[in-house]
Amino acid sequence: MKRAMAFVLVCLIASTALADTITVAAAISLKDALSKVAEQYKTDTGQVVEFTLGASGQLASQIQNGAPIDLFISAANKQVDDLAKAGVVDNATRRVVAGNSLVLIVRAASKASPDSLKALTDATVAKIAIGEPKSVPAGQYAQQALKHVGVADAVKDKLIFAGNVRQVLDYVERGEVTAGLVYATDAKVSGDKVRITCTVDDADHDPIVYPAVLVSASKQQAAATKFVDYILSDKGQAKLKEYGFAPPPPPPQPTTQPTR
């Protein structure tokens, strides 16, 4: 009898642990920082977070097609907007958890050193890697910036499109391209393998933000909400800052109507 009760207790504990596990689909640029946040979260709460990482557009497509995801953290608003319009995510739960910046990088040993986007038109720059704009937010931001400074047409034949921003970083590290446009956090992760030659002006592209939103079909919405709360806590934000992420922008203040 005691053995039977012990077995039931073990099964209940295992079932509870499984119920607390959430699956988060997150932009791959968050990989290193978010895994550390999840480790600390497990230490503090006992709850387990599993990740599916990739380009935000690809992840959004998976969620649209019914992938068992509880929480989506995109590297841009567009993917969340599209899923919200389709009724796949609960837009009321959307919260921005971090920000970032776009930088131009070259391999550390490279002789090329384009110090602006306009310098990418120089003959010394043979190939430029960016994320595929259709599915990779970093590529969308890069394309916006190239257009904004007026060099998009001049460099279009030099562009090499990557499946995600980490693949851009890999191309630059291996010397397969002269330069690449990645997030500042990716360059930080690469360490001494690459050099940042310029930081792209924020005014040249849409604000780089990471919105988190609950997936409507999730059975773990309460647990997923707790994890988002943790990311936005002092502990979570400190870990993201350690990896180079900017804090989320303050929410817009409501406008007040003048009294008559």
Cβ atoms within 10 Å of 102's Cβ, excluding its own: 25
pLDDT tens, position by position, 202-225: 999 999 999 999 999 999 999 999
pLDDT tens, position by position, 18-27: 457 999 999 9
Residues 6+ apart with CB under 8 A from 11: none
How far is 172 from 192, CA to CA, in rounded Å? 12
Report the mean per-residue pLDDT for the chain. Answer: 91
Report the DSSP beta bridge partners of residue 72: 25, 213
Give the range among 3-17, 55-69, 96-110, 175-189 with minimum mean pLDDT.
3-17
Tokens of 76: 């841009």
Whether 97 contacts 210, CB under 8 Å: yes
Domain architecture of the chain: domains with CATH: 2-99+209-242 (3.40.190.10), 102-204 (3.40.190.10)
Query: Which residue carries 């870990």 as its tokens?
Result: 239
